[in-house]
């Protein structure tokens, strides 16, 4: 029997892509879920489908992670519906690719509020629940682009915010390490989802992209290990991923001008 069976998790960005795949993988393990994303119709359909297929309880909550009020509602609903939440998985995220001097001003705010604020604020809203229970796991889906130094050209706002989220996650683990709470950053290489579909650099050869299965395995591993062996960071990369393949040996590929 899966050790995850009967446990509960909140998954943001759960309507498609990595979060969608994680929702399915965890439901398959017998976990009850709270799924969050902005698009209510897809979310409700996803939740009903998982619930039917895997005989678990799945609660959809429409939530824009850039809005504090929505995050407060998500946290309160999750605790009210399940009484105890065992894991928070922050996967909601957006991407964009611009030379910095051309990056639209509103794009910077969108990245900051979705990819950093959303994860940190929701963690803040859940953390006292985990402290009270003396257990809980926070998993932040950051990015393999954080392994590239200097940050990949045309991705510096995205990538530096993901680095910030890595730093936050590690700091949170150390701050709460005596409270039984695990905190893990998962750093996927470029993965075949809608998010990468529009990125010029990688749309050339989609066979180089990773599939979500390995990220599902990393998340299940992080959720399963005891708190005293908490993996702080898990890189989920392959040698063909466009950003990380050049890391060993080091070389960055950039979009053609
Ligand atoms: N794909 C990759 O290559 C890759 C690599 C490394 C890291 N990541 C990270 O992995 C995470 C998931 O990416 P993905 O590839 O799965 O993207 P995706 O396929 O575009 O899915 C993004 C998910 O996030 C939700 N979302 C977007 N903005 C939101 C908001 N403001 N509030 C709530 N939900 C929101 C979307 O649903 P709605 O639009 O309905 O809100 C959707 O469910 C992101 O944090 C991304 O940075 C991705």
| Contact (CB, 8 A) for 157 and 165 | no
Indicate which atom in ligand 1 lies nearest the CA of residue 20: 43
3-state DSSP assignment of residue 89? strand
Nearest ligand 1 atom to alpha carbon 110:
31
Q: Tell me, what's the pLDDT at 256?
A: 54
Residue 217 has a pLDDT of 97
Dist. CA 1–CA 126, nearest whole Å: 28
Domain boundaries, the chain: 8-194+210-237
| Strand pairing class (58-62; 181-188) | unpaired
Q: In 10 A of CB 251, how many CB atoms?
A: 8
Q: Which of 13, 4, 34, 32 minimizes the C-alpha distance to 219?
A: 4
**Architecture of the structural domain at 8-194+210-237:** 3-Layer(aba) Sandwich (3.40)
Check residue 204 and give its pLDDT. 55
Residue 66, ligand 1, Cβ within 6 A: yes
Tell me which H or E stretch contains 75: helix 68-82
Using the mean position of ligand 1's atoms as its centre, give its distance from the Cα of residue 31 in Å.
21
pTM, entire model: 0.94
Closest ligand 1 atom, CA of 210? 3
Based on the residue annotation, tell me whether 158 is a catalytic residue of this protein.
yes
Rounded to an integer, what is the distance from CA 102 to the centroid of its chain?
27
What pLDDT does residue 205 have? 66
Distance, in Å, from the CA atom of 220 to the CA atom of 217, rounded to the nearest integer, reads 5
Minimum CA distance residue for ligand 1 atom 34? 37
CB-CB neighbours of 146 under 10 Å? 24
Which of 17, 159, 235 gets mutated to test ligand 1 (max ligand atoms within 8 A of its CB)?
Answer: 17
Q: Is 196 in the pocket of ligand 1 (CB under 6 A)?
A: yes
- 136: phi then psi, degrees, rounded to nearest 5: 150, 155
Separation between Cα atoms, residue 104 and residue 122, nearest integer Å: 26
First vs last C-alpha separation in the chain: 53
Which of 92, 218, 243 maximizes ligand 1 atoms within 8 Å of its Cβ, making it the mutation to test the pocket?
A: 92
Contacts of 60 (CB under 8 A, 6+ apart): 34, 35, 36, 40, 43, 44, 46, 47
In this structure, what token pair is assigned to residue 222? Answer: 């992080």
**98, 113, 116, 158: which is the annotated catalytic residue?**
158
pLDDT by 10s per residue, the chain, length 257: 468 999 999 999 999 999 999 999 999 999 999 999 999 999 999 999 999 999 999 999 999 999 999 999 999 999 999 999 999 999 999 998 888 999 999 999 999 999 999 999 999 999 999 999 999 999 999 999 898 888 888 889 999 999 999 999 999 999 998 999 999 999 998 888 888 776 655 555 677 788 899 999 999 999 999 999 999 999 998 766 665 444 333 344 555 55
Q: How close is the Cα of 8 to the center of ligand 1, in Å?
A: 21
**CA nearest to 207, candidates 188, 218, 191:** 191
pLDDT value of residue 55: 98
Point out the ligand 1 atom lying closest to the alpha carbon of residue 158: 47
CA distance 196 to 112: 18
Q: Whose CA is nearest to atom 44 of ligand 1?
A: 93
Structure confidence by residue, pLDDT tens digits, 154-183:
889 999 999 999 999 999 999 998 999 999
Cα 178 to averaged position of ligand 1 atoms, centre (Å): 32
Is 152 near ligand 1, meaning CB less than 6 Å away? no
Compute, in angstroms, the gap from residue 92 CA to the centroid of ligand 1.
Answer: 4
């Amino acid at each position: 029997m899966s050790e995850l069976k009967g446990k509960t998790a909140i998954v943001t960005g759960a309507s498609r892509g990595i979060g969608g795949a994680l929702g399915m993988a965890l439901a398959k393990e017998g976990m009850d879920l709270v799924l969050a994303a902005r698009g209510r119709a897809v979310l409700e359909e996803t939740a009903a489908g998982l619930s039917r297929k895997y005989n678990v309880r799945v609660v959809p909550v429409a939530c824009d992670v850039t809005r504090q009020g929505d995050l407060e509602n998500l946290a309160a609903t999750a605790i009210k519906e399940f009484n105890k939440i065992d894991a928070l998985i922050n996967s909601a995220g957006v991407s964009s690719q611009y030379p910095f001097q051309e990056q639209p001003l509103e794009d910077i705010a969108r990245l900051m509020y979705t990819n950093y604020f959303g994860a940190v604020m929701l963690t803040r809203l859940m953390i006292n629940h985990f402290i009270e229970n003396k257990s809980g796991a926070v998993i932040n889906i950051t990015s393999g682009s954080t392994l590239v130094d200097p940050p990949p050209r045309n991705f510096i706002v995205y990538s530096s915010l993901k680095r910030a989220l890595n730093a936050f996650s590690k700091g949170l683990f150390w701050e709460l390490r005596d409270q039984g709470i695990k905190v893990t950053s998962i750093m996927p290489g470029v993965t075949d989802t809608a998010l990468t579909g529009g990125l010029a650099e990688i749309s050339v050869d989609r066979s180089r992209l990773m599939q979500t299965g390995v990220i599902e395995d990393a998340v299940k591993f992080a959720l399963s290990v005891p708190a005293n062996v908490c993996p702080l960071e898990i890189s989920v990369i392959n040698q063909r991923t466009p950003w990380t393949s050049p890391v060993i040996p080091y070389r960055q590929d950039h979009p053609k001008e």
